[in-house]
Amino acid sequence: MPEQFGDKQHEATDHRRQQAREQGQVAKSQDLASASLLLAAVGILMYWGENVATLLGNLMRTHLGGEAILQVDRDALTTQWYETLIAIGGVMLPILGLLALVAVVANVGQVGFLFLPDKLAADINRVNPLQGIKRIFSITNVARLGFGVFKIIIVTTIAAWAIWGEQDQILRLGGAGVGEIASYIIKISLNTCFKIGVALLILAIIDYIFQRWKQEQDLRMTTQEVREEMKNLQGDPQVQARRKAVQRQLVLNRVGSAVPKSDVVVTNPTELAIAIRYDHESMDAPIVQAKGAGVVAQRIRRLALENNIPVVERKELARALYKQVEVGKPVPAGQYAAMAEVLRYVYKLKGKKLPGMTEAA
């Protein structure tokens, strides 16, 4: 049956997705992180670059300009290095911190927090030449190579277009000073890098969408795989059916021995049945002997009729006892009044008085 064993026509289950995630099979685009870092770096330089250039210029004038210092002691040299590091760190650390934050967000945003210690273990397949050749010439890597060539063409085209648009300004730089030329080169370089970063980001988003789609296609399941997963997670359906049958038989056997010892059966009237026993000499409160719904409730009512045990319809009381009281436990104090009314009715049918409960009621 090819439909069962070949065609992946079912969406991946949550369990299959979780297994794939634990094995590191997640949809991720490395280009998305790279493009985000590029744009962040260019944006930071456009906003903060002047401060960095000013700092470096001042440091160069301070340490390379003026009179040469031929003799210095250790304390003076240490102080000078400390001041230099403080000055550079005050400007560079925020920049590096922002770049690190962007890198973390760009990666974690795609796959979430994922810790895979097994990936750190040694794997002989990673250094196996045959496996390496297969990976190199795989369809996936060929597609990545084609996409990489396409990105190079896009980047080259954007860079050429950006510079071509500035040709008039470039030709006028012949009579400009060194400072003006340097400023213009930095400006056009940042603008070009920004345009390239935007283009790479768009391509990276397309790549990420494709990776998500490919991941979903790879995780799709055949009918047989769905059945095998259900069997592994929930057990063999036949074994489950037998287990339920045994459990149901045990419940019915317990009901068969408990109901004949009861004094009354409270019903819903057809959905629920609760068998109650009360002995004023040995019990402080009535005890639930058995309870059940559906087939078990029918069994309780049938046993009650066979053993001449009164069956009383009390919907609210039956629901409360079924939800609140386990078998073998006493009726809660909140149901004493309703229970006393039922027992009073049963004792009246039998021509007996209800000791103890009469006063409590």
Give the model confidence (pLDDT) of 35-93 as tens digits: 888 889 888 888 877 777 787 777 777 777 766 565 567 777 788 788 888 888 888 88
- Long-range contacts (CB closer than 8 Å, 24 or more residues apart) made by 213-216: 214/27, 215/20, 215/25, 215/26, 215/27, 216/11, 216/12
User: Is residue 262 in some structural domain?
Assistant: yes
Task: Give kind and range of the element (H or E) at residue 264.
Answer: strand 264-267
Q: What percentage of residues in the chain have a pLDDT greater than 90?
A: 1
Please indicate, yes or no, whether residues 263 and 348 belong to a single structural domain of this protein.
Answer: yes
Please indicate, yes or no, whether residues 185 and 105 belong to a single structural domain of this protein.
Answer: yes
User: Is residue 231 in some structural domain?
Assistant: no
User: Is residue 145 in some structural domain?
Assistant: no
Contact (CB, 8 A) for 37 and 106: yes
Compare 112 and 344 and report the one with higher pLDDT.
344
What is the tally of structural domains in the chain? 2
Please indicate, yes or no, whether residues 206 and 247 belong to a single structural domain of this protein.
Answer: no
In this predicted structure, the answer to whether residue 240 has a pLDDT above a threshold of 50 is yes
User: Is residue 128 in some structural domain?
Assistant: no
Contact (CB, 8 A) for 231 and 13: no
Please indicate, yes or no, whether residues 111 and 249 belong to a single structural domain of this protein.
Answer: no
Residue 4: pLDDT band with limits 50, 70, 90: very low
User: Is residue 153 in some structural domain?
Assistant: no
In this predicted structure, the answer to whether residue 1 has a pLDDT above a threshold of 50 is no
What pLDDT is recorded for position 55? Answer: 79
For strands 311-313 and 264-267, give the pairing. Answer: parallel
305/317 Cα distance (integer angstroms): 20
Please indicate, yes or no, whether residues 251 and 332 belong to a single structural domain of this protein.
Answer: yes
Please indicate, yes or no, whether residues 211 and 251 belong to a single structural domain of this protein.
Answer: no
Residue 239: pLDDT band with limits 50, 70, 90: low
The stretch 317-343 carries a mean pLDDT of 88
Q: What's the chain's average pLDDT?
A: 79
Residue 148: pLDDT band with limits 50, 70, 90: confident
In this predicted structure, the answer to whether residue 2 has a pLDDT above a threshold of 50 is no
Please indicate, yes or no, whether residues 211 and 245 belong to a single structural domain of this protein.
Answer: no
User: Is residue 289 in some structural domain?
Assistant: yes
For strands 287-293 and 311-313, give the pairing. Answer: unpaired
In this predicted structure, the answer to whether residue 134 has a pLDDT above a threshold of 70 is no
Compare 111 and 131 and report the one with higher pLDDT.
111
What are the φ and ψ backbone dihedral angles of 127, each rounded to 5 degrees?
-110, 5
Please indicate, yes or no, whether residues 57 and 106 belong to a single structural domain of this protein.
Answer: yes
The closest of 313, 309, 304, 303 to 270, measured between CA atoms, is: 313
**Residue 252, domain extent:** 240-360
Compare 118 and 34 and report the one with higher pLDDT.
34
In this predicted structure, the answer to whether residue 157 has a pLDDT above a threshold of 60 is yes
User: Is residue 281 in some structural domain?
Assistant: yes
The closest of 48, 49, 34 to 185, measured between CA atoms, is: 49
Please indicate, yes or no, whether residues 249 and 317 belong to a single structural domain of this protein.
Answer: yes
Please indicate, yes or no, whether residues 209 and 79 belong to a single structural domain of this protein.
Answer: yes
What pLDDT is recorded for position 351? Answer: 73
> Residue 292: which CATH number?
3.40.1690.10
What pLDDT is recorded for position 354? Answer: 61
Please indicate, yes or no, whether residues 110 and 197 belong to a single structural domain of this protein.
Answer: yes
Please indicate, yes or no, whether residues 182 and 324 belong to a single structural domain of this protein.
Answer: no
User: Is residue 292 in some structural domain?
Assistant: yes
What pLDDT is recorded for position 3? Answer: 42
